[in-house]
Structure 1
């Protein structure tokens, strides 16, 4: 793949907002779901403990990003070394290695792409559901809690907004956001 090309198609030319809901761990396993501004389901994260890609890594935690129709897109595996590995899940078995995420601290991640000469960094506060994703010095996505004017109680942390800027694949951003909050 040539430098500067996208891993996945990104056909939006304006920033797009998604509204994210994080389920309760007891009820639905803590899954994240993304909705568009009209309330349509766009992405969902499934927790899985067994997978063909999990067998080669001894971390055990696998998160699979699926689209609205349930088709797997990206699988992320937590390795024993504290890293996350991302695989393309569009064609089974998911063997196409996409990225590695290294956690420098709770509030800072570095994302390295296979065969690419650039990387992403993610900085923010997982507790407040806020982060910014950078490619170089440019912000490619950001998340924040949903604030309302004239509201005296703090906003709930299980609902927040994700804004994805043009030129980046939305599924990839959502998969990296899941890793940041876990």
Structure 2
């Protein structure tokens, strides 16, 4: 799959950044389900954890499903025992089309770095990654880069004169570009679990 296949085709103006607000406490969403809303509070994406199949001999440790606002599966996100994450189009079946693979390159108490490789010919050439994700999962803070350019950035929701900042609510800003917004959210979900 080429990067152009991941272009966002929504009707919104693609020349301005958009903010998504992530939390596990949104009205209309079961408690504990990570959801992302737009600035008006409308649900845009939801993340469901798939229970592991006890009869499977797969190397999978964890599977998450990224859904749109109508509960249609966009991407299935699989974490393997070897520290590699794979993202497929659609539901949790690994026989679906592979979109990207993510490899953790740095893991410390305060910092995680991920290298992202889009599926296709370049996936066989592990010398050059397509995207880099750098930040601190504990602080819900990361930056996504493509060729040195900032693609997306996340941070906790700070308020003026706030002494304690909850890690339960955060902002994900996606800058104009060709990367699918759902794919950026999927990368952020991988990043949040990047220390595991």
In which range does the TM-score fall when normalised by the shorter chain? 0.7 to 0.9
Q: How has the CA–CA distance of structure 1 residues 142 and 45 changed in structure 2, closer, same or farther, with 3 Å as cutoff?
A: same
Q: How has the CA–CA distance of structure 1 residues 10 and 91 changed in structure 2, closer, same or farther, with 3 Å as cutoff?
A: farther
RMSD: 2.5
Partner of 1:7 in structure 2? Answer: 6
Q: How has the CA–CA distance of structure 1 residues 90 and 80 changed in structure 2, closer, same or farther, with 3 Å as cutoff?
A: closer
User: Contact conserved, 2:35 with 2:46, CA < 8 A, in 1?
Assistant: yes
Partner of 1:42 in structure 2? Answer: 44
What is the DSSP-based 3-state SS (H/G/I as helix, E as strand, rest coil) of the residue aligned with 2:187? helix
Distance in 1 (alpha carbons) for counterparts of 2:180 and 2:138: 25
Number of aligned residues: 174
Q: TM-score, normalised by structure 2?
A: 0.79
Compute the displacement of 1:57 (Å). 3.6
Q: TM-score, normalised by structure 1?
A: 0.85
Gaps of 5+ in 1: none
Gaps of 5+ in 2: 123-128
Distance in 2 (alpha carbons) for counterparts of 1:91 and 1:50: 11
Q: Which moved more, 1:126-135 or 1:11-20?
A: 11-20
Compute the displacement of 1:121 (Å). 0.3
Map 1:1-182 to 2 at 5 A.
Answer: 5-11=4-10, 12-22=14-24, 30-50=32-52, 57-89=58-90, 95-106=96-107, 107-115=112-120, 119-151=130-162, 153-167=163-177, 168-182=179-193
Distance in 1 (alpha carbons) for counterparts of 2:81 and 2:114: 17
Compute the displacement of 1:143 (Å). 0.1
Compute the displacement of 1:116 (Å). 6.4
Distance in 2 (alpha carbons) for counterparts of 1:92 and 1:19: 28
Q: How has the CA–CA distance of structure 1 residues 174 and 62 changed in structure 2, closer, same or farther, with 3 Å as cutoff?
A: same
What is the DSSP-based 3-state SS (H/G/I as helix, E as strand, rest coil) of the residue aligned with 2:61? coil
User: Contact conserved, 2:133 with 2:142, CA < 8 A, in 1?
Assistant: yes
Q: How has the CA–CA distance of structure 1 residues 136 and 30 changed in structure 2, closer, same or farther, with 3 Å as cutoff?
A: farther
